[in-house]
Each structure stands twice: as C-alpha cells, then as structure tokens.
Amino acid sequence: MKTVTTVKDMQMIVDKLHRTNKSIGFVPTMGALHEGHLTLVRDSKKRNDVTIVSVFVNPKQFGPKEDLSKYPRPIENDKKLLAKEGVDYLFNPDENEIYPHGFQTTVSIDKVAEIFEGKSRPGHFDGMATVVLKLFNIVSPDNVYFGQKDFQQCAVVKQMIKDFNLGINFFMVPTVRDFDGLALSSRNIFLSEKERIEATNIYQSLLLGKNLIVGGNHDSEDIKNKIRSYISNHKMVRLDYVEVVNPVDLSVTKTVHRPVVILVAAFVGKTRLIDNIMIK
Ligand code: AMP
C-alpha cells in the first residue's frame, strides 16, 4: 500500500489509473478504523481494480462544542489494517493540504441535510459535503462506499452526486455491529465500561421498533413513543431524536409504509451515538 499525502501526487496517480482504464473504488473515512470501515474496503476491493481509502479528520464537520480535538487518530494502526486488506492507496492529507490558506467554498444541501442530524448538528452536513466533494474531485472514483450506520449521510451524499451530475456509483454497506448489537463506531472508545454496556439499549430500542412494525403496528407516533419510553427507562442513555422515515427521501409519515427506516440519535454519558434499522 502506498501512502499519499498531497493532492498533486494523488491526482497524478489517479490520472495514470484512468489512462489505463482501471476502475477506482473509494472509501472516505476519518480513521480510527474498525470492522465497519474494513467492510466498506472489502466491498470496494471486490468490485474495483484499485481501492483508495482516505483518512482525514475533517474539522469542518465538527461543531464548536464537539469532539474534534479528542477524536482518535491512531494512524499507524490504521495503516497496518488497510495494508492487511490489500488497499492500494491511502490518501492521508493534512488540514493545510485540504483547506489551504484562502479556501472559501462550502457545499450546502437543502432539505435532506436540514433535518435530524442537520438540525442537531448545525453545519455538520455542509462540512461533510464540502470535504466529500473535494475528495471525490481529487480521487475521481467510479464507485464509492459509505456505511448504512450514517443513513442520513448516505442520503445527503447521494443527493449531491445527483444534483452535481458527478457520475459516481454510490454503494451503501450494511452496518457492522459488535457482539451485543452496538453499531461499531470510532466514538465507542469514549464510553466507560458501564456506558458501553448501556449503549446496547440504542440497538435494543431499534429492535423494539422493528418488532412493533413487523407485528402490524403502523402508527409512527405510537412506535416513536414506545422507543422513547424504552430509552427513558435506561437512565444512562439520553435520546436526542427518534424518527420513522421513508428510506428514499427521509420523509416522515404518520402511517408506516414499508420499507421504512427508524433513525435514533442518543447520548450515552457525553458520547453522542447514532444508529438505524431498515424494515423491508
Ligand atoms: P467515519 O470514519 O466515521 O467518518 O466513517 C467512514 C465511513 O465508514 C462512513 O461511510 C461510515 O458510515 C462508515 N461506517 C462507520 N461505522 C460503520 C459501521 N459500524 N458499519 C458500516 N459502516 C460504518
């Protein structure tokens, strides 16, 4: 695996790959890699001649009160994991390389980015979309891989690809979970032992919602109330939001029509986690 740190070098490599008609699969990440990220990498490896992974902790997608300075950056371990998976190129630029002096452009997506995560984390999706568009322009991928865990992020990136005619194929990869159902996340390391045990209630609440829908309950508000009530019985978990949405446009309806996705965001101690479940 070759590590590339500058935009110029990455573009030179990509130009050469395109000239030789190699398909490029791309997996953008913020590092602190786990099996979730590696599953995206494996999907890309299966379907592309060359796989490029980026590791860049993007300051623009963190709010002023969020965990940017604490965000884990175990880059040497990340390199080992990616090399073991047979990744061809790691793109690991520093902040000045991505946002050089004088950088002034922000990508802003309307409706789909303004709700749920967009509401709870103002500016998050603008920052995410800005870096993702920039990375897409640098890496010029044929196929990109994102995790279902960040379901709304998938919807926002898909919208951007469509609106800007980027001509990139988008693949959403199912969420990888720990033994007890907790979705793997780079932020799980912030959880104390007790919080880690309690965090599994986020997934349990999603299963509760799924079982209600599969059992014939079509009343969104009732399902959300039962999830709220389940979570409020677990004092270490504080719900930010629960939504029952259409997976295509994330619209909310009073009556559940499958396929449907339940989205949950919750704090466990000071750590904010998100998860979702699709009911087909
Ligand atoms: P991050 O490094 O958290 O920005 O995530 C990079 C990519 O990995 C995003 O597309 C995430 O949705 C995806 N990802 C993170 N956690 C998981 C997981 N548990 N299962 C599948 N994909 C994941």
Across the strands, what pairs with 28? 54
CA of 170 to the centre of ligand 1 (A): 14
What is the SS3 assignment for 112? helix
Rg (CA), the chain: 19
Catalytic one of 37, 101, 124, 218: 37
Instruction: For residue 112, give every residue at least 6 positions away whose Cβ sits within 8 Å of its Cβ, in sequence order, or none.
Output: 152, 155, 156, 159, 249, 250
* Paired tokens of 267: 């704090």
Ranges under pLDDT 50 in the chain: none
pLDDT at 115: 97
Question: Could you tell me if 55 and 31 are in contact, meaning their C-beta atoms sit under 8 angstroms apart?
Answer: yes
> Catalytic: 18?
no
Residue among 37, 78, 151 whose CB has most ligand 1 atoms within 8 A, to mutate: 37
Q: Which of 147, 138, 108 has the alpha carbon at shortest distance from 124? A: 108
Largest pairwise CA distance in the chain: 59
183 lines ligand 1 (CB under 6 A): yes
DSSP track, 193-221: HHHHHHHHHHHHHHHHHHHHHHTT--BHH
pLDDT at 45: 98
**CA-CA distance, 35 to 175, in Å (whole number)?**
10
78 lines ligand 1 (CB under 6 A): no
Q: What is the pLDDT of residues 23-36, one digit of tens each?
A: 999 999 999 999 99
pLDDT at 48: 98
CA of 37 to the centre of ligand 1 (A): 5
Q: What is the dihedral of CA 27, 30, 34, 38, to 10 degrees?
A: 10
142 lines ligand 1 (CB under 6 A): no
Q: Which of 36, 33, 15 has the alpha carbon at shortest distance from 24? A: 15
pLDDT at 145: 99
* Paired tokens of 123: 């500016």
185 lines ligand 1 (CB under 6 A): yes
pLDDT at 253: 84
**CA-CA distance, 258 to 265, in Å (whole number)?**
21
Alpha-helical segments (H) within the chain = 7-19, 35-47, 75-84, 95-98, 111-114, 117-120, 124-139, 151-163, 193-214, 220-232
